[in-house]
Structure 1
Amino acid sequence: MTDTGGIAPAVESILATARQRGGGDERVSVDPRPLPAAIQRAEAAGRVPIIAEIKPTSPTTDGERRDDPVELAEQMVDGGATALSVLTEPEHFGGSPETLRAVREAVDVPVLRKDFILREDQLDTVEADLILLIARFVDDLDELVTAARERGFQVLVETHTEAEVETALDAGAEIIGVNNRDLARLDVDLSTFESVAPSGSEDVTLIAESGISTQGDVERMRAAGADALLVGSAIMDGDVAANTRRLTTTETEQ
């Protein structure tokens, strides 16, 4: 469903780089740690399910954080993170497959590979528990979802519009993320999740992405039906363990 009309220049640059990036030499096979089960365990323990993101830098942030990513991952898990998201895009986000591999070896929670994956061979770059596919940029979502599942990956299909959600559902997506950030303008609006997230889809795990920085934001997204929340900058900016704990702790526990 590739749609690159109206895309911000920064995102166009990321896509151009992604189109040129190769994949792995050998087909990977993954025994994944299930995200839905991890979410259930967090809720049973009274924690808000947070997917904490290790993001050294991005086109929408200033500067770069150079901490050891394994140490950051361990601090996030200590703070109660249900799962981790690791950027593997090198040129614009400072990530790498090697970082994801090291993080996954160090923790026991599900780890999402966050990147701009456009072709099947790019699935074979590194093992992860989940991979991100952005509905807007994938030519044949059904085909790529199937290819990912054949390798054992769980697939998080990212959407931003109702039409993209329908495309994700038609492709059999079981984990759908709604990105509150509009990639055309790079601005953020939390009402996106509220208006776009499908209702009554008990078999689908819903993830709210972007723009979540306060406990009020967490409560708002959860009230709108988010099973889990993907949070990057609000956790990476400052004390990672404390920031994670702040967002995973319910108001009644504080």
Structure 2
Amino acid sequence: MDESELAPAVRSILDAARARTHDGERLSVEPRSLTDAFAAAEADGRVPLIAEVKPTSPTTDGTREVDPVAAAEAMVAGGAAALSVLTEPAHFGGSTETLERVREAVDVPVLRKDFVVREEQLDAVEADVVLLIARFVDDLDGLLAAARDRGFQVLVETHTRQEVARALAAGADVVGVNNRDLGKLEVDLETFESVAPEVPDSVTTVAESGISTRDDVRRMRAAGADALLVGSAVMDDTPDAIRENTRDLT
């Protein structure tokens, strides 16, 4: 990876991720099934949606002050099949404590959204699913295996056909295609349409980023998305608004 191609904000996030250490005990988790949650949503006539509890990010203005547990409960009430919780503290306002509180409050699978780059970082907090970003993980095979050894399900995030090939070679069974280029922080829904055909039908495919309307949902589903990961479009200032925003996309 040529880090000179990364946006300054992304380089800063990556540097912070590499500097983070964790000295706790090795985790062993009993996860709630992400694919079962997607299937249950489909059976109920809902679009399988991973709604993201997202206080802030380098691509949004300001910070949402709504309580993250209240936000999470509103997302589930609005029909979200699963949740994503940011645990990156410096740039996204997340924390492992927030994930713990959310996971205790809901009964759907919870994804840990962070920049995990080393095995020890997997042990920071229990979750049902962990995110591994192919672009930033040197030993994807090893880190994927280490996550599964602890009981985690793994969403491997990609952005290019080459990254999809690498994810599949590592054994990924849930592959995300991020419409946001983390090098430039630019979003283009055509990314998923171009890259998703590289993912076989036997692998669960998640469209990420840039999805804000029902038309976007239909477009991603038509392009082969089994599920969608949505953050900014559902977050709002009150639980009622978050519930309705989630319902609008499911």
Q: Which TM-score applies when normalising by structure 2?
A: 0.97
Residue aligned with 2:218, SS? helix
Structure 1: how far apart are the matches of 2:3 and 2:45? 41
Q: Percent identity?
A: 70
Structure 2: how far apart are the matches of 1:116 and 1:66? 23
**Counterpart residue type for residue 66 of structure 1:** E
| Corresponding position of 1:21 | 20
2:249 to 243, 247, 250: 247
Mean alpha-carbon deviation: is it higher for 12-21 or for 233-242? 233-242
Contact 1:24 1:123 in 2 (8 A): no
- Measured against aligned partners, the alpha-carbon deviations of 1:39-89 in whole angstroms (never above 9, x if no partner) come to 000000000111000010000000001211111000000000000000000
Shift of residue 3, structure 1, vs aligned partner? 4.7
| Corresponding position of 2:185 | 186
C-alpha spacing 1:194/1:111, structure 2 compared with 1 (3 Å) = same
Structure 2: how far apart are the matches of 1:178 and 1:101? 26
| Corresponding position of 2:228 | 229
- Measured against aligned partners, the alpha-carbon deviations of 1:179-219 in whole angstroms (never above 9, x if no partner) come to 00011111100000000013562221100000000000000
* Mapping 1:47-196, distance limit 5 Å: 47-196=46-195
Contact 1:24 1:126 in 2 (8 A): no
Contact 2:161 2:198 in 1 (8 A): no
Structure 2: how far apart are the matches of 1:78 and 1:206? 24
Residue ranges of structure 1 left out of the alignment (5+ in a row): 249-254
Contact 2:66 2:236 in 1 (8 A): no
Shift of residue 24, structure 1, vs aligned partner? 4.4
C-alpha spacing 1:136/1:5, structure 2 compared with 1 (3 Å) = farther
- Measured against aligned partners, the alpha-carbon deviations of 1:201-249 in whole angstroms (never above 9, x if no partner) come to 222110000000000000000000000000000001351000000000x
**Is the aligned partner of 1:34 residue 2:27?**
no
Structure 1: how far apart are the matches of 2:89 and 2:104? 20
Structure 2: how far apart are the matches of 1:24 and 1:182? 32
**Paired residues, number:** 247
